[in-house]
Amino acid sequence: MVALKTLHGPQQISSSFLNEFKNHMKCRLEGSELEIYGLTQNKETGQYMMVYQYANRGNLFDFLSQYFRKL
């Protein structure tokens, strides 16, 4: 199962979206449990999306709020 994070707004990859993608890839290389599979584009709308492993523990903010001290 996967989750998609959509870039809202213009159909171009913004620098902040690209930096977030790079940071996730760096975390993946450093042992993160959450897999990130890559980028994709909706051909009908032109929107870009990051493709993640589905996280059954909720979103990243909630996870870090709960487990930050243990990391």
Pair of tokens at residue 21: 């993608």
pLDDT band, very low/low/confident/very high, at 28 (cuts 50, 70, 90): low
Q: What is the mean pLDDT of residues 24-33?
A: 65
Q: pLDDT at residue 29 above 60?
A: no
Q: Name which of 28-32, 41-45, 58-62 the model is least confident about.
A: 28-32
pLDDT beyond 80 at 33 = no
d(CA 1, CA 52): 9
**Type of residue found at 58:** G
Identify the H or E element spanning 33: none
Confidence (pLDDT) at 31? 58
Strand bridging mode 48-53 / 2-6: antiparallel
